[in-house]
Amino acid sequence: AQTVTQSQPEMSVQEAETVTLSCTYDTSENNYYLFWYKQPPSRQMILVIRQEAYKQQNATENRFSVNFQKAAKSFSLKISDSQLGDTAMYFCAFIVSRGDDKIIFGKGTRLHILP
Amino acid sequence: GAVVSQHPSRVICKSGTSVKIECRSLDFQATTMFWYRQFPKQSLMLMATSNEGSKATYEQGVEKDKFLINHASLTLSTLTVTSAHPEDSSFYICSARDRLWEETQYFGPGTRLLVL
């Protein structure tokens, strides 16, 4: 069975600092996708970043980047120059590339950006 | 970017009534839509997978007669909570899978249901 583990239930950092959220996953599949979703207080789920497992290059989206370590099954999210608007629940997620599988979410990390 | 709308955003109803929630993909065609339930401070719990033109697939423990799903077109899926009870009060979120980016799901803004 595939699982996604986020070991940090809650984190707080000062505005403008860099923060890294951890995520590990377990699968026997070779082709899959990994995601980070953000859920701010509005509760709208927002796709932050997406990584294809076959790509060695780490995905980046502006201030957001990932450290994808396929052998270690690790997929951490780095937020640089954190802003107050980054305060949210962050979910790591995984899906196998068969087109008919369900996305599997971690339990989430609640991130507080402090002024 | 892909936009998914959900309506209504908030509904309060009396126990025993039925409530319909709509999920629409606004700028893309969704081969598959998903319905989730989220309890406070928890992750999303998948209730069912909805494919256009076919019956929904329900997760274990989800009553299909209680939560009716209809996926009438490539841009619309509905969830009807039948004979709602207070324990059905929750936050319901839909998502849609883009045909072109089949592994990526885009989420609606959610519907907060309160059953009195």
Total beta-carbon pairs less than 8 A apart between chain A and chain B:
41
- Residues A34, A68 contacting (CB under 8 angstroms): yes
Q: What is the dihedral of CA A97, A79, B96, A33, to 10 degrees?
A: 0
Confidence of residue A1 (pLDDT cuts 50, 70, 90): confident
Closest-CA distance of chain A to residue B111, Å: 10
- Which residues of chain B does A110 touch, with a Cβ-Cβ cutoff of 8 Å? 41
Q: How much is the pLDDT for A6? A: 98
pLDDT of residue B61: 94
pLDDT of the residue at A100: 64
pLDDT of residue B52: 82
Instruction: Give the model's pLDDT for residue B105.
Output: 87
Q: Which residues of A touch B42 (CB under 8 A)?
A: 107-108
Question: What are the phi and psi torsion angles at A56 (to 5°)?
Answer: -80, -30
**Residue B44 to residue B11: CA distance in whole angstroms:** 20
Whole-angstrom Cα distance, residue A110 to residue A22? 12
Checking if the pLDDT of B4 tops 70, the result is yes
pLDDT of residue B101: 66
- Which pLDDT score, from 0 to 100, does residue B99 have? 66
DSSP-assigned beta bridge partners for residue A114: A14
User: Residue B40's beta-bridge partner residues?
Assistant: none
In angstroms, the separation between the Cα of residue A15 and the nearest Cα of chain B is 23
For B32, nearest residue in chain A (alpha carbons): A100
Q: Look at residues A29, A33, A21 and name the one whose alpha carbon lies nearest to residue A88.
A: A21
d(CA B59, CA B45): 9
Considering only CB atoms, A33 lies closest to which of B41, B43, B103, namely: B103
The pairing of strands B10-13 and B111-115 is parallel
Residues of A in Cβ contact (< 8 Å) with B49 = 102
Report residue B78 as tokens: 């509905």
How does pLDDT run across A49-59, given as a tens digit for each residue? 999 999 989 99
Query: What confidence tens digit (pLDDT) does each residue in A32-88 have?
Result: 999 999 999 999 999 999 999 999 899 999 999 999 999 999 999 999 999 999 999
